[in-house]
Amino acid sequence: MTKEILEQLQAEYPHAVRLHESMQNHTSFRLGGPADALAIPHSLEELRGILAFCGRHELPIFVMGNGSNLLVRDGGIRAVVIKISGALSTIRLTEYGLEAEAGISLSAVAHAAVDAGLGGLEFAAGIPGTLGGGVMMNAGAYGGEMKDVVRHVIALDYDGQEHCFSNEDLQFGYRKCYLQGRDLIVAKVGLNLREQDPNVSRALIADYNQRRREKQPLHLPSAGSVFKRPPGHYAGQLIEEAGLKGKRIGGAEVSTMHAGFIVNVGNATARDVEDLIHYVQQEVFAKFSVHLEPEVRIVGEYYGPLFLD
């Protein structure tokens, strides 16, 4: 991958592609080094074009949503980062519920469902991610998960070809599905929803959001729950019982409000967060013999690019 090829990519898609883009502007942790190139496609056709360019020039690709479950190391990402959010957010009513593009936020699609008199997606209204990211991670809260409502997914491979997956094909599990680790990008999602009084749905969403405000440090940059729930335990409870609430490394802190969150209390580096993750893992394992597996995706390099400085 050379600077000249990336400049050519930017010239072909000037409104979509930025070079040497700091990832702190694109993650909820508000930290992370630069991507060699960041592409934010404005349509599925533009996405196909960018994929085709990357394929012709054998450029590495990294796909993300809105960065709400992502820790990018301080050296950044040596790839073309394709961000599926923002413009890819069209939505339409169907005979089974809704179909929406993957870049729409979970909150927006949940509220659109309510406005259409459809229930079943209320649990997702406060999850800070995109619809596509929610499918990939089988996002869930308050007893609901994406596997409960996904009817089908239309995904693009890196050649721009469409593939359709049913709910059964997706093999949903705890914070995972079949699409993870494969060269596939969620493009559209069909959602099976039921008719429901909008007032009932709005009351549910208000209740869930109030619970979040009371228990989660929403006022500080974070990536939500850092660790997956270990079998038979709750990560936050184990971390609290290990006496780690308020533990800091640099500008990263185990939240004093909810021990399952690591927050950026000011000028944290990705290394601070990653070191704190490892420290928490070690302490919890030493005290309880339980391994905490990160739920947040950790990507990128410790040191920055050589040719884009």
Q: 101, 145, 274, 295: which is the annotated catalytic residue?
A: 295
Q: 18, 73, 78, 175: which is the annotated catalytic residue?
A: 175
d(CA 212, CA 262) in angstroms, rounded, equals 16
Which residue type sits at 53? F
Residue 124: CB atoms within 10 Å: 28
| Coil, strand or helix at 74 | coil
Which residue type sits at 27? T
Q: 85, 89, 222, 225: which is the annotated catalytic residue?
A: 225
d(CA 50, CA 40) in angstroms, rounded, equals 10
Are 69 and 133 within 8 A, CB to CB?
yes
The H-assigned helical ranges of the chain are 3-12, 44-56, 106-115, 131-136, 167-170, 198-215, 235-241, 270-288
d(CA 144, CA 201) in angstroms, rounded, equals 14
d(CA 93, CA 88) in angstroms, rounded, equals 16
Q: Is 175 a catalytic residue?
A: yes
Catalytic residues, by residue number, are 175, 225, 295
